[in-house]
Structure 1
Amino acid sequence: MQTLIDLFRTFPGLGNKTAFINRTGIRRFVTSYRDCYDLALRMASLLEQQGVQPGDRVVLWGPNSSWWGVAYWGILVRGAIAVPVDFMSDLARADSIRRLTDAKLVLQSRFKVERIAAGTTLLLEHLPFLLPELPPSSLINEPKPDDIAQLIYTSGTTGNPKGVILTHRNLAANIVQINSQVPIITPEFSFLSLLPLSHMFEQMGGFFTPLYRGATVIYLGALKPSAILEALAEEDVYVIMSVPRLMQLLKTSIERELAEKHLAGVFAKLSRFAEGTSMQARKLLFYPVQRKFGRNFTVFVSGGAPLSPELFAFWFNMGFTVLEGYGLTETAPVLCVNTMQRQVPGSVGPPLPGVELKIEDKEVLARGANVFPGYYQNEEATRAAFSADGWFKTGDLGEIGPDGWLTIKGREKELIVTGAGVNVYPDEVEAVLNKVAGVKEACVIGLDRGGGEEVHAVLLLDHSGTTPDAIIAQANKGLDGMHQITGYTVWKEPEFPKTTTLKIKKFAVKEAIKQGAEEGAATGSRDSLVNLLAKVTGTPVAQIREDSLVVADLGLTSIARLELVNFLEQEYRLDIDDSQIGPQSRVSDVRRIIEKREKLSRKNHYRFWTNAPWARGMRRFWDRVFHYPLYRSFARLEVQGRENLSQIKGPVFFIANHLGYFDQPSVMFALPPELRYSTATAAWAEFFFGDYHGLNRLWRRFTFEYGTLFFNLFPLPQQQGFSAAFRFMGRLADAGINILIFPEGAHTRTGTMQPFQLGLGIMVKELGLPVVPIKIRGSDEVLPPEASFPRSGTISVRFGAPLTFRFEEPAEIVEIARRAVEEL
């Protein structure tokens, strides 16, 4: 394999084998290798239509998904150069990269609050609608091995990021090198992708490598513990590409669950016992945890940052294989990795086949076909990156053992040289600090006060009450006298600024402290939470205070609350439900939710089993012997527009006006049986679960139990808790179940249709389902809202033609849908 196009040409031969699975948090979408190949050719046609020529740069700024992959391959097929940008980058950085590369086109996401407006832009979320309308490109670019495939911009410790040139030769070489060193991947493997595809560690390990072997890649909508554990439970995952911080988050999630079950002490004893046992014995000993990762889970691959021996031991002692690797963007990216046969804590393993390493002045130097040719339009930086004899200078300090295995000591630019001339590695001091009670996370930097640097600790506290002075004193007991911490600062934001691989941006922390932080006082030149609230609510930053009520003072609507939760989950990688942010919540309360990272234990009332074959059979029987005879004793049903139902392909939203309690059975009996018994109905959650007491509460609970079983109802809240409802509706749609909803939210009292709730637009947008409008007449005459007993009458149900939405925003969807119902 000489180029990535050689890899791309293998896709048609894999046919319907699954290449990508998108788990959006609401829906699950599958893309085969054949589909990926076809869509990439159509993507190339779209790029040609947009004026993109071979050699042009195309910025790719979006979250991980199959559409990111389709866009990437389409760029290469066109002969253009991909410029992936971390989705979490702000607008200023993304637009800076657009200018630096003179990009012809920007592919960005609607999930960014601020988007690039200059030049030609397209939304990645529009590709599902744009590509099917275009013919596949008849031409596939045939690059030379040394042609540029992509430009990756480094995070940059100054304001000037450097564009790393990666050629087809670099990338193809590293794919082959990795698969030679770890030859375990087969087409049965599924990779859980947790890191941004803009980062070369994920791109090589979790994109190119699985596709090279015909394996499957699973993408998540948000990198939060619950989404990861759900994917592990529902998908057959073999490999997780991870970084230490994510492995720590999973560790914390497991420990929290053990603590809730009062099993933490037992777990600790078992871990100590497991240290001297075989891998198979450890797997059996920790079977309850192993089971959470699936029957075929094989390996964690860790990179992007040093893996602490303690974190390695946590997973290793439970019978998990952890392969730590090392590399840089400039080396495409992998240089070393532990092997399946041997894993050494603290070591990043031997070099890959074809990679040469040497140590010069304690710095690791590398050479091989995977090493980049230089920085884009930056000859000065390129010259500085290579030694006189052509070795790449990594900037990392390390040691190569007698067995050829590499150990990384730290970054050269982060090394602290004290006034006494002692070299202090910040990572080693941080490892001590992070074990001290009261520390949520620590960052160690060198501050020059004149006469050499001091070892300065920046502390993110866990609010347990331990004082910073006590923390520093405890840490210094575990440090050599020459490596003592001599100063500290308390960081007041919920999190440290992080890179795409969740490493602390030490240069940003250092800058913030230099700009006015006092020892023992708050820091933070930028409050990311306040900025996020400002973007979502439209409130000026200056008007947002810690005691501001997010609803009353900032104007956070119930729908905007969902948007805020999505951004918080993306930004802080935590589990949060929109019901945790209510009318009485203040900015300080939101900050506390982020800091504590406590998952809300909330009982929901969603029952997917009501769609099982036996439950459908029960409804068929009960309708025939009871519901339909009872319905016909009061109502004569007239049905129009049934021919429109023949156009339905797959699950849809049925939406209807709402006159009374006879609406739902009228629609159901108007539907043909094959649709009737594969349709669930959204019902007002607060009707069943409001603040009711006594017999009223018992009656409403009985109606819920009866309704879920015999009418296939599910609760849809109008005040809070939408997140869980959306996920349940997504699960219904994935199973081919239609959804009936009454978007007015309540019965009309006048016969005139009320405004539709905005939530309908968000549901349609997120679930991606067509909408079938329905007009009901006469049900309010049969059972008026204020009546306690029905009377005889005629009810008519008219079905409209299905509506398909593409680029419309939620408010526009709501208006079009309402007009369609009204015009029936």
Structure 2
Amino acid sequence: MRTLVDLFHSFAPRGDKTALVNRTGVRRFAVSYGELSVLSLKMAALLARHGVEPGDRVLLWGPNSSWWGVAYWGIIMRGAIAVPVDFMSDRGRAESILKLTQAKVVLQSRFKPERLQVENSLLLEDLKYLLEEVAPYPDVVHPAPDDIAQLIYTSGTTGNPKGVILTHKNLVANILQINRQVPIITPEFSFLSLLPLSHMFEQMGGFFTPLYRGGAVIYPRTLKPSAIMEALGEEDVYVIMSVPRLMQLLKTTIERELAEKHLTGVFAALARIGAGLSKPARKKLFFPVQRKFGAHFTVFVSGGAPLDPDVFRFWDSMGFTVLEGYGLSECSPVLCVNTIDKQVAGSVGPPLPGVELRLDGKEVVVRGDNVFPGYYQNEAATRDAFTADGWFKTGDLGEIGPDGWLTIKGREKELIVTGGGVNVYPDELEAVLNKVPGVKESCVIGLDRGAGEEVHAVLLLDDSGAKPDEILARANAQLDTMHQITGCTIWREPEFPKTTTLKIKKFQVKEQVKQGAAAGGAGTTQDHLVNLLAKVTGADPAEIKEESLLVADLGLTSIGRLELVNYLEQEFRLDIEDSQIGPQTRVAEVRRIIARREKGHRRGHYRFWTNSAPVRALRMLGDALLNYPLYRLFVKLEVRGRENVEHLDGPVIFIGNHLGYFDQPSLMFALPREVRYRTATAAWEEFFFGDYHGLDRFLRLAAYQYGTLFLNLFPLPQTSGFSTAVKYMGKLTDRGLNTLIFPEGGHSHDGAMQDFQLGLGIIAKELEIPIVPVKIVGTDKILPPKHTGLPNRGTVTVSFGKPLRFRFEEPAEIVARAQAAVAEIQ
């Protein structure tokens, strides 16, 4: 294998083997290797249509997904140069990279509130439809190993970002080096992708490596904790590519659960017992925790920053394997990694085969085929990056043990040199501070006040009320006198600014502390939350205050609420329910939810087991003995357009007008038997679970029990918790089941069809399945909504229209077209 094209040619022969899996939070979409091959060649043809020639740059700015993968391989197979941009970057950074690369096409995402306003732009989420009519690209590209495959732009902490040139040779070399060092990956392995594909650590370890070995990659849409745990519970995950901060967050989650169950002491005792046991024995001892990660979970791979030895020991004590590695984008990116046979806390392991490593003073310098040739159109930066004899200067300070294993001490540019000439490594002090009660997170920086740098701590505190002076005193008591912290600043925002690998952007923190000191405060930043609220509501950012009510003052609509929740999940990796944001929610409360990472708890009334074969058989029996005979006492049923539903290709959404209580049984009995018993009906949740008391409450709960068992109803809330219902519908769809919805949201009181609710558009957009319009006539004469006596006898007509398929339409367009389709049925 000499180029990425050689790797791509291995995809088609693998056929139906799963390559990529999208978990949208509502649906699960799998892409096989064969499909990945065809779609990527179609993508290459689409890029050619948009004027992309070999050697042109294509900007790729979107979240991890199979469509990101299709776009990437399409770029490669067109002979173009991929320019991945961190999805969490703001528009300003993306615009800067666009200008620096003169990209011919921009591939971006609908999930970004602010997009690049350029003419030649495509949405990644639209590729599913854009590629339908495109023929696979017929030309075969033959790049040379030294041709540029992609440009990765650095964070640009001191000016314009620098474009790291990575050639086909660089990337292929690192793929082969990693697989020689850690030769455990098989086609059975699946990787849970949690880090951005714009970051070389994830791209190499969680994209190229599994695809090289024939494994699968799983992409959750958001990185909120519940989405991660759901993926672990439902997918057979073998590997998680991680960063130290994520390892710490997972550790904290487990410790919090233990504390809530009063098991902290038991855990500590088990850890002491496990210390003398083998790793397989520790895995059995901590089976309850191991079980959460799945039966075949094999390894955490940690990179991007030094891993705290205490965090390593926490996971190791439970029998987990943690491979800490080290690298930089300029090195494709991996240079060192621990081995499966041996892991050492605090060490990043030995160099990969083919990587040469030495210390130049205390700085780590390297060379190998995986090391980049230079920065894009930046000769000065390229010269500065290499030693006179051609070794790349990493900028990291390290120590090499007698066995050749490397330990990283910190970044040279972050090293604090005190007035006494003492070198202080911030990472070591932060590890101490973060364990002091009251500290949620810390950032240690050097402040130069004219006599050398002072060691300064910036503290993000929890709600315990701990005093800063006491925190510093406790931390300094554990530090050498030469490494004492001399001052601190309290960080007033919910979180430190971070990269997508969760590293604190220290240069931003330092600048804000300086500005705050000059102004007599702790400094402020451009308010990301305010900008987000302005984008969703259309309000003027200047008018958004902490006491502003989201609904009354800012005009947040019910659909806007769902959009806001989606953005908050993406931007802040939150577990949040739309039920947490209501008419009385203020901006300050949203900020508190973000700061405290308050998880939304909603008790759903969902019973998926009612779709099981035994309950389906019970439903058939109930229809034969009770429901249908009772229905026929009052109704003569006429069915039209039945041919439109007799041969459905996959699950659909049935929608109909809503005249009375006989609508649901009329529509269901009009369906072919094989369709009827694979269809669930959305029912107004508040009808069953509103503020009812006494006999009324009992009767409604009894109706819910009967409805879920014998009518296959599930609740669809009108006020809050809509996202939970959509997720349930996604589960139905993934199992090949249909959904019936009455989108007016209530019965018509005069026979005229009311406006359909916009939620239908969101449901259709998320489920990505056709809508079958249905018109019902006559049920209002049988049992009108407010009728209290026995039903009347009469005729009911149910007419099915042709399935509607949607592609690029937005929710409002979907709703308008669907309502018109129902109205037009004769």
Give the Cα–Cα distance (whole angstroms) in 2 for the partners of residues 632 and 317 of structure 1.
66
2:584: which partner in 1? 584
Q: Check if 1:699 corresponds to 2:699.
A: yes
Give the Cα–Cα distance (whole angstroms) in 2 for the partners of residues 518 and 254 of structure 1.
42
The Cα shift of 1:520 comes to 9.3
Q: Percent identical across equivalent pairs?
A: 72
The Cα shift of 1:598 comes to 3.0
Q: Check if 1:171 corresponds to 2:171.
A: yes
1:664: which partner in 2? 664
The Cα shift of 1:250 comes to 1.5
The Cα shift of 1:284 comes to 1.0
The Cα shift of 1:536 comes to 1.5
**1:496-575 equivalences in 2 (<5 Å):** 496-517=496-517, 521-575=521-575
Q: Identify which range, 215-224 or 465-474, moves more after superposition.
A: 465-474
Secondary structure of 2:660's aligned partner:
coil
Query: Does the CA-based 8 Å contact 2:354-2:369 persist in structure 1?
Result: yes
Secondary structure of 2:604's aligned partner:
coil
Give the Cα–Cα distance (whole angstroms) in 1 for the partners of residues 802 and 675 of structure 2.
15
Query: Does the CA-based 8 Å contact 1:579-1:721 persist in structure 2?
Result: yes
Amino acid at match of 1:105: V
1:798: which partner in 2? 799
The Cα shift of 1:519 comes to 10
Secondary structure of 1:133's aligned partner:
coil
Q: Identify which range, 299-308 or 274-283, moves more after superposition.
A: 274-283
Secondary structure of 1:669's aligned partner:
helix
Amino acid at match of 1:324: E
2:161: which partner in 1? 161
Query: Does the CA-based 8 Å contact 1:27-1:727 persist in structure 2?
Result: yes
Gaps of 5+ in 1: none
The Cα shift of 1:119 comes to 3.3
Root-mean-square deviation (CA, aligned residues, Å) is: 1.1
Q: Identify which range, 129-138 or 596-605, moves more after superposition.
A: 596-605
2:322: which partner in 1? 322
Secondary structure of 1:785's aligned partner:
coil
Query: Does the CA-based 8 Å contact 1:331-1:371 persist in structure 2?
Result: yes
Q: Check 1:554–1:237 CA distance in 2 against 1; reply closer, same or farther (3 A cut).
A: same
2:451: which partner in 1? 451
Query: Does the CA-based 8 Å contact 1:45-1:135 persist in structure 2?
Result: yes
Secondary structure of 1:284's aligned partner:
helix
Give the Cα–Cα distance (whole angstroms) in 1 for the partners of residues 473 and 530 of structure 2.
33
Secondary structure of 1:515's aligned partner:
helix
Secondary structure of 1:165's aligned partner:
strand
The Cα shift of 1:470 comes to 1.4
2:95: which partner in 1? 95
1:261: which partner in 2? 261
1:486: which partner in 2? 486
1:10: which partner in 2? 10
1:108: which partner in 2? 108
1:306-360 CA distance string (max 9 Å, x none): 1001110111101100000000000000000000000000000000000000101
Give the Cα–Cα distance (whole angstroms) in 2 for the partners of residues 520 and 609 of structure 1.
61
Amino acid at match of 1:726: V
Query: Does the CA-based 8 Å contact 1:61-1:106 persist in structure 2?
Result: yes
1:708-739 CA distance string (max 9 Å, x none): 11111110111111121111111111001100
Query: Does the CA-based 8 Å contact 2:515-2:523 persist in structure 1?
Result: no
Give the Cα–Cα distance (whole angstroms) in 2 for the partners of residues 368 and 414 of structure 1.
26
Query: Does the CA-based 8 Å contact 1:636-1:793 persist in structure 2?
Result: yes
Query: Does the CA-based 8 Å contact 1:355-1:367 persist in structure 2?
Result: yes
The Cα shift of 1:517 comes to 4.2
Query: Does the CA-based 8 Å contact 2:562-2:723 persist in structure 1?
Result: yes
Give the Cα–Cα distance (whole angstroms) in 1 for the partners of residues 670 and 110 of structure 2.
38
Give the Cα–Cα distance (whole angstroms) in 2 for the partners of residues 470 and 712 of structure 1.
60
Give the Cα–Cα distance (whole angstroms) in 2 for the partners of residues 715 and 646 of structure 1.
27
Gaps of 5+ in 2: none
The Cα shift of 1:268 comes to 2.1
2:198: which partner in 1? 198
1:276-297 CA distance string (max 9 Å, x none): 2211111111000001111111
Query: Does the CA-based 8 Å contact 1:225-1:249 persist in structure 2?
Result: no
1:311: which partner in 2? 311
Query: Does the CA-based 8 Å contact 1:489-1:523 persist in structure 2?
Result: no
1:811: which partner in 2? 812
Q: Identify which range, 715-724 or 202-211, moves more after superposition.
A: 715-724
Query: Does the CA-based 8 Å contact 2:773-2:821 persist in structure 1?
Result: yes
1:823: which partner in 2? 824
1:771: which partner in 2? 771
1:429-466 CA distance string (max 9 Å, x none): 10000000001100111111111111111111111111
1:32: which partner in 2? 32
The Cα shift of 1:211 comes to 0.4
The Cα shift of 1:169 comes to 0.0
The Cα shift of 1:691 comes to 1.0
1:371-425 CA distance string (max 9 Å, x none): 0000000101000000110000000000111000000000000001111111110
Give the Cα–Cα distance (whole angstroms) in 1 for the partners of residues 513 and 633 of structure 2.
78
Query: Does the CA-based 8 Å contact 1:462-1:595 persist in structure 2?
Result: no
Q: Identify which range, 604-613 or 527-536, moves more after superposition.
A: 527-536
Q: Check if 1:66 corresponds to 2:66.
A: yes
Q: Check 1:265–1:597 CA distance in 2 against 1; reply closer, same or farther (3 A cut).
A: farther
The Cα shift of 1:799 comes to 0.5
Give the Cα–Cα distance (whole angstroms) in 1 for the partners of residues 220 and 232 of structure 2.
11
User: TM-score scaled to structure 1, two decimals?
Assistant: 0.99
Q: Check if 1:129 corresponds to 2:124.
A: no
Give the Cα–Cα distance (whole angstroms) in 2 for the partners of residues 195 and 237 of structure 1.
15
Amino acid at match of 1:97: I
Query: Does the CA-based 8 Å contact 1:489-1:520 persist in structure 2?
Result: no
Q: Check if 1:785 corresponds to 2:785.
A: yes
The Cα shift of 1:522 comes to 3.9
Query: Does the CA-based 8 Å contact 2:516-2:524 persist in structure 1?
Result: no
The Cα shift of 1:269 comes to 2.0
Give the Cα–Cα distance (whole angstroms) in 1 for the partners of residues 558 and 383 of structure 2.
55
Query: Does the CA-based 8 Å contact 1:641-1:800 persist in structure 2?
Result: yes
Give the Cα–Cα distance (whole angstroms) in 1 for the partners of residues 242 and 588 of structure 2.
32
1:96-150 CA distance string (max 9 Å, x none): 1111100000000111111111230000111111112111111121100000000
Give the Cα–Cα distance (whole angstroms) in 2 for the partners of residues 524 and 269 of structure 1.
45
Secondary structure of 1:446's aligned partner:
strand
Secondary structure of 2:681's aligned partner:
strand
1:635: which partner in 2? 635
Give the Cα–Cα distance (whole angstroms) in 2 for the partners of residues 73 and 88 of structure 1.
22
2:437: which partner in 1? 437
Secondary structure of 2:398's aligned partner:
strand
Give the Cα–Cα distance (whole angstroms) in 2 for the partners of residues 480 and 165 of structure 1.
43
Q: Check 1:318–1:778 CA distance in 2 against 1; reply closer, same or farther (3 A cut).
A: same
1:163-187 CA distance string (max 9 Å, x none): 0000000000000000000000000
Query: Does the CA-based 8 Å contact 1:782-1:790 persist in structure 2?
Result: yes
Q: Identify which range, 710-719 or 556-565, moves more after superposition.
A: 556-565
Give the Cα–Cα distance (whole angstroms) in 1 for the partners of residues 256 and 812 of structure 2.
41
Q: Identify which range, 751-760 or 585-594, moves more after superposition.
A: 585-594
Give the Cα–Cα distance (whole angstroms) in 1 for the partners of residues 456 and 706 of structure 2.
64
1:176-231 CA distance string (max 9 Å, x none): 00000000000000111000000000000000000000001011011111111111
Give the Cα–Cα distance (whole angstroms) in 1 for the partners of residues 207 and 221 of structure 2.
17
Q: Check if 1:470 corresponds to 2:470.
A: yes
Query: Does the CA-based 8 Å contact 1:488-1:519 persist in structure 2?
Result: no
Aligned residues: 824
Q: Identify which range, 359-368 or 548-557, moves more after superposition.
A: 548-557
Amino acid at match of 1:687: F
Q: Check if 1:653 corresponds to 2:653.
A: yes
Give the Cα–Cα distance (whole angstroms) in 2 for the partners of residues 223 and 455 of structure 1.
34
Give the Cα–Cα distance (whole angstroms) in 1 for the partners of residues 269 and 611 of structure 2.
44
Query: Does the CA-based 8 Å contact 1:490-1:520 persist in structure 2?
Result: no
Q: Identify which range, 466-475 or 107-116, moves more after superposition.
A: 466-475
Query: Does the CA-based 8 Å contact 2:189-2:237 persist in structure 1?
Result: yes
Query: Does the CA-based 8 Å contact 1:651-1:736 persist in structure 2?
Result: yes
Q: Check if 1:149 corresponds to 2:149.
A: yes
Amino acid at match of 1:129: Y
1:383: which partner in 2? 383
1:2-52 CA distance string (max 9 Å, x none): 100000001111111100111111100010000000111111110111111
1:681: which partner in 2? 681
Query: Does the CA-based 8 Å contact 1:418-1:455 persist in structure 2?
Result: yes
